[in-house]
Amino acid sequence: MKVGFAGLGAIGTPMAARLAGVHEVRAWNRTAARAAAFAAAHDGVHVSATPRELADGADAIVTCLPTSAEVEALLDGEDGLLAGLRPGALLVDCTSGDPVTSRRIAERLQARGIGFVDAPVSGGPPLAATGQLTVMCGGSEADVERAREVVAPFAARVVRLGPVGAGHAMKAVNNALLAVNILAAGEGLVALARAGIAPRDAVEVLNASSGRSFVTEVLVPERVLTGTYPPLFRLALLAKDAGIAHGVAAAAGTEDPVLAFVTARCAELRTLLGEAADYLDPIRQAEQAAGVELRG
Ligand code: NDP
């Protein structure tokens, strides 16, 4: 397939790398130097100067931008995606976006005979690089079937959850739960360390007990106990996801005091730690506030 990829960020880059070689790939990135470097590193990849050029003649476009607002903005203008996309093409949005904006985008595309699938991913850059992401899709059955073929090189699992917006709702709730676990694990482990319990012992017991999670089983042992904290996923993006989950609950008319709290707390930490902070930096911040280090 002829696939245009927009958004060569922390996770977009390894995803696009998996597509290169399987599909005929064109790449566009806001900072053009990143697209040029990507094309130089991957045989057969061509750089597009504008979103319009990216879309011109493409069977599918894959977007992986911070929020749905940037995806929507990419549609418009004489150099926008809509100026290049042909009827019958498909936009596969791998952004962790929001259902409301995605439904609006899908309607605009549908009016021109272009399909849309929200297809946010889970697994992070390491699993993107090995083609083992989980892709959560929202869209018509026919569009999702076409999207499967597009994303296959970076996906181990592609699940259709419902109509447009369902993938984004699912991803947001997943990440809100991730945020709960990160913040709570940081607070709990710091308290235990101050109470004299060795972090390694605490993590070992948690992971053999009912308080365990992906955070305590993988993230804390690999990145906190080792003190490596590699930047992989920006806290600003996690905060955005928690807010989307809170919006999903509001739209569904359900009560969500915990999701509302984690949304507010993530927003506060985003302001405190900055736009470039990593999603595990709140644990580092909890360590510093308590004057302890969770190493061992
Ligand atoms: P990054 O911040 O690393 O990259 C963002 C990308 O979007 C860059 O290519 C950036 O271009 C581009 N961009 C930013 N603003 C605009 C704009 N206004 N117009 C056009 N392009 C823009 O983000 P990630 O790659 O980490 O995340 C991308 C999406 O994937 C997010 O929705 C995130 O929540 C989700 N995600 C991320 C995961 C991760 O582990 N990193 C895991 C799962 C999902 P430029 O180079 O010019 O800055």
Pick left, alpha or beta for residue 7 (phi over 0 → left; psi -120 to 50 → alpha; otherwise beta): left
- pLDDT number for residue 102: 98
- Buried residues in 89-113 as b, exposed as e (16+ CB within 10 A): bbbbbbbbbbbebbbebbeebeeee
Mean of pLDDT values over 233-246? 98
195: which residues sit within 8 A by CB, 6+ positions away? none
Cα 6 to ligand 1 centre (Å): 10
Kindly state if the Cβ of 128 falls inside 6 Å of ligand 1.
Answer: no
pLDDT at 219 exceeding the cut of 90:
yes
Rounded to the nearest 5°, which phi and psi values hold at 196? 100, 10
Q: Which residue bears the tokens 């090189």? A: 153
Tell me the domains of the chain and their CATH numbers.
Answer: 2-163 (3.40.50.720), 169-290 (1.10.1040.10)
> Could you tell me how many residues make up the chain?
296
In angstroms, what CA-CA distances link 3 with 103, 149, 202?
22, 11, 47
Residue 159: strand, helix, or coil: strand
pLDDT at 230 exceeding the cut of 90:
no
Q: Which amino acid is located at 170 in the chain?
A: M
Q: How far apart are CA 98 and CA 261, in angstroms?
A: 19
Mean of pLDDT values over 218-245? 96
Kindly state if the Cβ of 233 falls inside 6 Å of ligand 1.
Answer: yes
pLDDT grade for 138, boundaries at 50, 70 and 90: very high
Q: What are the pLDDT digits (tens) for 11-61?
A: 999 999 999 989 999 999 999 999 999 999 999 999 999 999 999 999 999
DSSP H helical segments within 208-296, as ranges? 214, 235-252, 257-273, 281-290
Catalytic residue among 171, 240, 246, 284: 171
Q: What are the pLDDT digits (tens) for 148-188?
A: 999 999 999 999 999 999 999 999 999 999 999 999 999 99
Kindly state if the Cβ of 96 falls inside 6 Å of ligand 1.
Answer: yes
Cα 217 to ligand 1 centre (Å): 26
Six token digits for residue 162: 């419902």
Q: How far apart are CA 263 and CA 171, in angstroms?
A: 15
Is-catalytic flag, 171? yes
- pLDDT number for residue 229: 84
